[in-house]
Structure 1
């Protein structure tokens, strides 16, 4: 009897060791690479920090970061399969799905978008913009923020001349060279403009709106679940780092990796970054209303149509 018990214990031990070994092997198994698109904006900094500090590697995840100069270039890369996800906005998610290319919003991002005027223009209030030209990126977060700022001042499209300049660096250059009277830019490039004399009239923070999001293609959501979950673990570690460490500890590397202008090093004001969370439903509904009122999309999307909580628990 003792011999039988001993044999059974031995079998159990072997099975347990084998299971633990297999579990350990599985936990350290290499995940698929995630390809992420970013723009020249402060929204992208947590991703840059997660890579620089090795937080992605801690999760056995390779993340390839692709930089784009315009939302159009980023969206083309998404639809061609060159990237799995991107720093984006609610508008882009609605446009993609309306066109038959399915993407899912997985979290919000923390960025600010400023409406600025050329230093040589005698524009001191939003009402002074009447009859002036404003450089934007058409049908994007940038135009949405611009419209919300104008609405606050009681102005409409008929009161101003919108100039579509998709590439952000070009938009900045045209503002600074006096080719347009005003422009709406993300925080990092807006900082450059203000350092060179441009005046900021209003921004998305003052309006209390945040339409910026992280999104992934439905294909990535279906086939790279473990990778996206690992991505967000690293993302949240980066947020903790950013909110704890002084800017001087990382700003040089962020400027280099993010393609930001070097001159903004001291002037750039970063947001208080939040750990990954879902976008506000009111922000979502307001964007969808803006798109439908303009006749830009055919479908009147509900929050659950485009937003998934699968990766934010």
Structure 2
């Protein structure tokens, strides 16, 4: 009798458990380090429009003032994701595979530049040929230095004719170019537009070779491995945000200004750019960047494409 009673209690417990609603899955919070740059506008739009919540993920932004600060947070595990570039992914992975790029953030196109090489107002520099032996201000070991060299090489300059000078901070580069102390500089948008507005001459831009110019959304590999659904949800929200921006860009011009993604003098005139749909760098783009960082002596290591790029989480 006692055994039958125990069995009945067990069956009743199982029946109640089966009929009870499933406990909701815990919503993951992803911490994303963001610089005040145009590349993060889709993230900010996704947050403002409730798209992260809609897709089942919480996102917390951690504002940072520089790329080194961003990278330190990632390495310390205090941030989960960021916008960076392929060379940066490789540098972070040099000792162990810490991060993977999961989506393009921005890309140059044949009619939309991300970066421009500009010459100072009274420098007399008009063409790429005029830049032979002229130091071009760049941030060293970044996409800016990489792109400067690739664009000038594409215009026929040899390695010994291409000179660069390290000026890491964009405001410093802009100021030195404006004063004429620096004859040429590579600047990202919207600062290249501001420099041109102030009298600098656009010599080259990446619309000529857009395959070299892009930024990335990157997450720590530990986060990708442990919470792939959260990263997928994040990217699904980004895809929706990009669609909203591209359909009605000026709707978000105020947000772009409020987030200090454009300098004050351009607040009224600078247009919201077009953002790329889902995608990741190709094997060829990866191989060229790896060849460059090794050629420059910044790294002495080979990576597999899949060490650094993971397109499997795209919606």
TM value normalised by structure 2: 0.85
Q: How does 1:88-99 map to 2 (within 5 A)?
A: 88-99=84-95
Q: Which stretch of structure 1 is more off in the superposition, 220-229 or 267-276?
A: 267-276
Cα distance between partner residues in 2 of 1:191 and 1:68: 24
Cα distance between partner residues in 2 of 1:233 and 1:284: 24
The structure with more helix, counted as a fraction of residues: 1
Say if 1:269 and 1:304 are closer, same or farther in 2 by CA, change over 3 A. same
* 1:46 shift after superposition: 1.0
Task: Give secondary structure in 1 for the equivalent of 2:290.
Answer: helix
Matched, 1:224 2:204: no
Say if 1:130 and 1:97 are closer, same or farther in 2 by CA, change over 3 A. same
* 1:101 shift after superposition: 5.3
Q: Which 4+ stretches in 1 moved above 4 angstroms?
A: 10-17
Partner of 1:238: 241
Q: 2:38 aligns with which of 42, 48, 68?
A: 42
Partner of 1:22: 22
Alignment length (residue pairs): 297
Contact 1:69 1:167 in 2 (8 A): no
Cα distance between partner residues in 1 of 2:167 and 2:80: 26
Q: Which consecutive unaligned segments of at least 5 residues does structure 1 have?
A: 1-9
Say if 1:164 and 1:101 are closer, same or farther in 2 by CA, change over 3 A. farther
Q: How does 1:2-151 map to 2 (within 5 A)?
A: 18=20, 21-22=21-22, 25-26=24-25, 29-31=26-28, 33-100=29-96, 102-111=98-107, 112-151=114-153
* 1:280 shift after superposition: 2.1
Partner of 2:184: 182
Partner of 1:260: 262
Q: Which consecutive unaligned segments of at least 5 residues does structure 2 have?
A: 1-11, 108-113
* 1:126 shift after superposition: 0.8
Contact 1:97 1:103 in 2 (8 A): yes
TM value normalised by structure 1: 0.85
Cα distance between partner residues in 2 of 1:159 and 1:69: 34
| Cα RMSD after superposing both structures | 2.5
Cα distance between partner residues in 1 of 2:185 and 2:199: 13
Cα distance between partner residues in 2 of 1:269 and 1:113: 16
